[in-house]
Amino acid sequence: MEDQESFLAGYDPRKYPSVAVTVDVVALTIRTGTLCVLLVERGAQPFAGQRALPGGFVKSETLDDAALREFAEETGLTPGRGELDRVHLEQLKTYGNPGRDPRMRVVSVAYLAFAPSLPEPTAGSDAARAYWVPVDEAKDLAFDHDDVLADGLERARSKLEYTPLATAFVAEEFTVGELRQVYGCVWGEELHAGNFHRKVLSVPGFVESTGRTTSRGGERGGPKAKLYRAGDATLLHPALLRPTREDRVR
Amino acid sequence: MEDQESFLAGYDPRKYPSVAVTVDVVALTIRTGTLCVLLVERGAQPFAGQRALPGGFVKSETLDDAALREFAEETGLTPGRGELDRVHLEQLKTYGNPGRDPRMRVVSVAYLAFAPSLPEPTAGSDAARAYWVPVDEAKDLAFDHDDVLADGLERARSKLEYTPLATAFVAEEFTVGELRQVYGCVWGEELHAGNFHRKVLSVPGFVESTGRTTSRGGERGGPKAKLYRAGDATLLHPALLRPTREDRVR
DNA sequence: ACAATAGTGTCTGTAAGACATTATTCC
DNA sequence: GGAATAATGTCTTACAGACACTATTGT
């Protein structure tokens, strides 16, 4: 067997069959009650005209930085102004099957990004070709991006259960009802308002009260709601488990 | 911004600063009641004399296949004879910080392997330089492998909670006591025998009875134990949660 | 007035953890 | 006999889910 050190000792980068490393980003947000993913339109072959996850080559930077850079470029958000501070970014999985890109060997490190509701990337900016698409309509993506998106969604749904991730989808101050909307549209099912309310407040460190309320009630009636901000918990205990699906088990 | 397709259209692999892609394997097993990881001794610089996780370059194969190949090479197990069938392998995380390898940019896809107790790789084989080390003694590894190992251990501990992964550490037929030993030494704390017993049997699909028992009782006394094999569940419901640590939450 | 929503109260079934108990085996 | 272990039983507390109910707002 050829081990790493002996290989590298005699390694000439210019002879070796090249492998390209990219990052792809599954960026999720909630717009008007619908879970959406950021997609770009491909102009060139292969997969011309199809949609794909935003991504690009890794430069002289960490993988995390590359993912954040791609996200910022495509959304038009600018670093350094705090706009990206509330974006949660985590590594998802790496995809490297030979043939996933027909031109060459490409190993892609996929990231998952969670953002509060953002404006549509404005035409005229660098990011004009990117837009938010409801996840239900994001099909037939280029490369193996259907799989990447599916893995990202499953990760997101799972992380809502045992982390305070849902707070990354709402504004800095939010109501319990808004939080319930997040769970509802990420999990794809309505949750019982009363039980959800009691449960959220019973998890230590999930949310903390601001002492204030919304200035108005709901659009279609209802009292003013108390405002909360994210607490200091990094894990929810006890967890908020999804309604049991027996078919998820086997 | 330079997008993927325009980049690739004008891409000449021989000009581009090369990035190497490797796989590293965190292979875990339990030997005489201790959780052990497979390490190799490095002969050459950098990190000569230090220990490292087994790993190597990805060839014309999937990332999963590369990880399985590395695992097989280092343990001396041979594919095709069923020896590898009971090895559970899953992708862990990808490490690509610039500078993690002093010689060049190396992006490493780490894998996690779970195996039942295996013999020490025999001297004389290709794998003579690999050996099992108790995880508590696996420190000061080469590259960023301390971090990789730590991430792998946390993943393993977490996966014991909600998947039947523990059955990958024991023989095809096992007792509830053996399963409890797995949880105990991976989590690093003893579990209450009675409660554990009742709980394991109450999770649908975790274990199924073989109808048989061990031929003898325990070494220091005790009745013969019933033998079980792994059930068909892929997720444990309800989960077997670790004893609550408040300090894990924040 | 009416509909919608926020928030609370109550009840039931399930599960976790602490602990006790019985039975079986090795030494 | 004595120690260790397998397996089961009991009790208490906590939590999930179903549901009812009150209070407050917008239209």
Please check whether the two domains, A15-155 and A163-248, share a CATH topology: no
- Euclidean distance between CA atoms B139 and B122, whole angstroms: 24
Tell me what the mean pLDDT of segment B99-104 comes to.
Answer: 94
Predicted pLDDT at A250: 62
Distance (Å) from the alpha carbon of B157 to chain A's nearest alpha carbon: 15
Q: What is the dihedral of CA B4, B10, B13, B16, to 10 degrees?
A: -80
Chain C positions under 7 Å from a protein CB? 2-10, 14-21, 23-27
Assign A41 a pLDDT band (cuts: 50, 70, 90). Answer: very high
Q: Evaluate the omega torsion of the peptide bond into residue B134 and state whether it is cis, within 30 degrees of 0.
A: no
Per-residue pLDDT band at A228 (split at 50, 70, 90): very high
d(Cα A108, Cα A22) in Å, to the nearest integer? 5
The angle, 0 to 180 degrees and rounded to 10, between the axes of the packed helices A145-162 and A176-187 is: 140
CA B87 to CA B241: how far, in whole Å?
24
Residue B250: predicted pLDDT? 63
User: A219 CA, C20 C1': separation in Å?
Assistant: 59
Q: Are A7 and B56 in contact (CB under 8 A)?
A: yes
pLDDT at B97 over 90: yes
Q: Distance (Å, rounded) from C-alpha B89 to C-alpha B62?
A: 13
What CATH number matches the domain at B18-143, 1.10.4030.10, 3.40.50.2300, 3.40.50.10490, 3.90.79.10? 3.90.79.10
- Residues 6 or more apart in contact with residue B141 via CB below 8 angstroms: B39, B50, B51, B52, B53, B149
Place of tokens 């994001």: A138
Residue A239 has pLDDT above 60, yes or no: yes
Could you give the CA distance from residue A138 to residue A160 in angstroms, rounded to a whole number?
21
Least confident residue range of A197-211, B7-21, B219-233? B7-21
> Is A107's CB within 8 Å of B104's CB?
no
Confidence of residue A124 (pLDDT cuts 50, 70, 90): low
The pLDDT value recorded for residue A59 is 96
How far is residue A174's CA from residue B71's CA, in Å, rounded to a whole number? 49
DSSP string, B39-77: EEE--SSSSTT-EE--EEE--SS-HHHHHHHHHHHHHT-
Tokens of A152: 């990202």
Q: Is residue A4 pLDDT above 50, yes or no?
A: no
Query: For position A46, what pLDDT does the model report?
Result: 86
Nearest to A62 among B6, B96, B204 (CB): B96
Average pLDDT, chain A: 90
Per the document, the length of chain A is: 250
CA–C1' A100–D18 (A): 48
Query: Which pLDDT score, from 0 to 100, does residue B9 have?
Result: 45
Query: Is A233 in contact with B244 (Cβ distance < 8 A)?
Result: no
Q: What is the pLDDT of residue B206?
A: 98
Q: How confident is the model at residue B90 (pLDDT cuts 50, 70, 90)?
A: very high
- Residues B23 and B223: their CA atoms lie apart, in Å, by 46
Structure confidence at residue A129 (pLDDT) = 82
Q: Is the pLDDT of residue B125 over 70?
A: no
The chain-wide mean pLDDT, for chain B, equals 90
Instruction: Grade residue A119 by pLDDT with cuts at 50, 70 and 90.
Output: confident
Please tell me the class of the B161-248 domain: mainly alpha
pLDDT confidence of residue A217: 87
Nearest to B16 by CA among A230, A22, A175: A22
Instruction: State which H helix or E strand residue B26 sits in.
Output: strand B20-31
What pLDDT shows up at residue B17?
Answer: 64
In this prediction, residues A181-187 reach a mean pLDDT of 97
For residue A11, name the pLDDT band (cuts at 50, 70, 90): very low
- Name the closest nucleotide to A177, judged by C1' and CA: C6
H or E element that contains B35: strand B34-41
What CATH code would you report for A163-248? 1.10.10.10
Tell me if A8 and B104 make a contact (CB, 8 A cut-off): yes
Q: CB of B159 within 8 A of CB of B200?
A: no
Give me the architecture of the A15-155 domain, per CATH. Answer: Alpha-Beta Complex (3.90)
Partnered with residue A131 across adjacent β-strands are A39
Which is more confident, B129 or B14?
Answer: B129
Q: Which residues on neighbouring strands pair with residue A137, listed in sequence order?
A: none
Domain range summary for chain A, segments of one domain joined by +: 15-155, 163-248
Q: Residue A223 CA to C10 C1' — how many Å?
A: 23
Lookup: tokens for B149: 């190992």
With a pLDDT cut of 70, the percent of chain A lying above it is 88
SS3 content of chain B, % helix, strand, coil (to 5): 30, 25, 45
Whether residue B180 contacts residue B191, with contact meaning beta carbons closer than 8 Å, is answered with: yes
Query: Which of B7, B13, B250 is nearest residue A57 as measured by Cβ atoms?
Result: B7
- Write b or e for each residue in B146-183: b if 16 or more Cβ atoms lie within 10 A of its Cβ, otherwise e: eebbebbbebbeebbbbbbbbbbbbeeebbbebbbbbb
Percentages of chain A per state (helix, strand, coil), in multiples of 5: 30, 25, 45
For residue A1, is pLDDT > 70? no
Chain B: closest CA distance from residue A243 (Å): 12
pLDDT digits (tens, 9 = 90+) for B32-88: 999 999 999 988 878 989 999 999 999 999 999 999 999 999 988 888 888 788 999
pLDDT per position as a tens digit, A68-109: 999 999 988 888 788 788 999 999 999 999 999 999 999 999
Residue A110: closest CA among A69, A141, A67: A67
